[in-house]
Amino acid sequence: MRRLDNITDEQIAAAQLRLVIDDKLGRDTPEVLRRIAAMSPTEIDDVPAPVFTGPHSSLLDALGVPLSSELLTRALTHRSYTEETGEHLSNDRLEFLGDAMLGAVVTDHLYRTNPDVSERGLAKLRAGVVNMNALAEVARGLGTDGLGPHLLMGEHEEASGGRDKSSVLADALEALVGAVYVEHGIDATSAVVHRLFDPRMAEVSAGGGLVDWKTRLYELTDTMDLSPPEYLVDSGDREYTATVMVAGRSYGPEIGRTKREAEQNAAKTAYRELSP
């Protein structure tokens, strides 16, 4: 996003989001930027933000965008609710779309803001932003009580703690991103992703969020004269579960969307418990 005299990138993003979503300028991005360029910082700040009402108002306020009732319901519907009740379509397809949109926006930002980082380094940066735990952390911070209370899910899934499962929350957040894209297009989607993930992207670009917990655990066990960690991984429906064994004791289980992520999460748990 280009910088205009006396106007910060944050003000441009806020104004662009408000103007695009308010449909004052449709989806004509050059026209959006032209109008913003002619506005003073005070005028940009005075562009009214959307006002939301209803049971999901705090969630929509956190996103900063309106969504139709149909799309919002679909984005919030876990497959277990569809399977148990036969009502509503699940959020699986929106999650698939949102995953791609989120990855594209994050990748574009990291590429542009880290010109000296290699392809491998950029991949690691992206993994530090777009991973199940990071997405779940963002989801738990949405609205008044997080994303969990807004979800529709089956009784069994809810009884098993589904409303706070990292995998469920991450999927639902991606589904919301997908819903924003379907209803408002790429410009608003990019603005929403930046609104939610800019702090995380800044953190990983500065070197945070990229800890290799498996390496740390290996080094710790070596220092403590313990046998090397052994990982046991089970694959399930769309996620992996990992347990790590150290000196006859198991740590976990922890889950992840990939085998590596599940192992990293298990190693993190073990490292923190074993560290002096």
**Tens-digit pLDDT profile for residues 232-245:** 999 877 788 999 99
| Range of lowest pLDDT (23-27, 60-64, 252-256) | 23-27
Active site residue 174: yes
Catalytic residue (choose from 95, 99, 157, 187): 99
Q: Which residues contact 3 (CB under 8 A, 6 or more apart)?
A: 9, 12
Please provide the DSSP assignment of 232-249 as one string.
EEEE-SS-EEEEEEETTE
Average pLDDT of the chain, as a whole number: 84
pLDDT of residue 2: 42
How large is the average pLDDT for residues 173-183?
Answer: 96
Domain boundaries, the chain: 50-205, 213-274
Closest C-alpha among 164, 155, 138 to residue 59:
138
Give the predicted TM-score (pTM) of the model. 0.70
Q: Look up the CATH architecture of domain 50-205.
A: Orthogonal Bundle (1.10)
Catalytic residue (choose from 95, 157, 171, 174): 174
pLDDT of residue 23: 53
50-205 and 213-274, same CATH topology:
no
Active site residue 31: no
| Range of lowest pLDDT (63-77, 161-175, 177-191, 194-208) | 194-208
Residue 232 has which token pair?
């046991």
Closest C-alpha among 275, 254, 273, 250 to residue 265:
254
Q: Does domain 213-274 have CATH number 3.30.160.20?
A: yes
pLDDT of residue 173: 97
